[in-house]
Amino acid sequence: MVTVEVHRVISWPDHACAGRSTLSGPALPSETAPQTPPNDGTAARVDMARAGRRIGALPHRLLGWLGGDGFPMVAPVAVAAGAGRVILVTSGAHLPEGGRRAGLLGHRYERQLIGLAVRQHTGWLDVVDGPAEGHYFPQTERSFRAPANKTLLLVANGLLAKRGLRAARRIRGPDVTSA
């Protein structure tokens, strides 16, 4: 069982977060202060053109950051390659002003999860052109794809589970069970 304690929910009349939002829970804090940039800079550390193209090809994209009250904020975004080493993100939701660490996730799930693709980045977000547009500098990337063939997917899942069990047994000893 998983228990989740919800602090606040912001909802919009559509999936693009356009229009007037409805708030359930405590009021949002006033503007979130920008974060101090990392010591090794905010520039992209992965191939921006490739990252933008790959995550932009996925139908669902979410940008996440830490709000001013310490709670996570998430908004759907559109993604486009920008000039230089940046990914342009736009959203119907209000993006935080200034610079901060942020995560960018793109995904596609097929029916019954037979075939899926997930891409995720951590990086730096600069919102300088108004509350709906920002520059995203990807610094790390991870991805996962599962085949759209049920038999192949089940075989691959079984092999990955077996590999994970072997790794757990090497670390924790032979008493680790598969359940």
Sign for the CA dihedral angle at 45, 48, 50, 52 comes to: positive
Quote the strand ranges of 26-97, DSSP E: 60-66, 72-76, 78-81, 87-90
pLDDT tens for 42-71 read 998 998 889 999 999 999 999 999 988 888
pLDDT tens for 97-144 read 899 999 999 999 988 878 899 999 999 999 977 788 999 999 999 998
Res 33 pLDDT > 90 = no
pTM of the entire predicted model: 0.81
Q: Can you tell me the mean pLDDT for 69-98? A: 86
Q: What was the pLDDT predicted at 79?
A: 93
Q: What was the pLDDT predicted at 83?
A: 64
Q: Which helix (H) or strand (E) holds 118?
A: strand 116-127
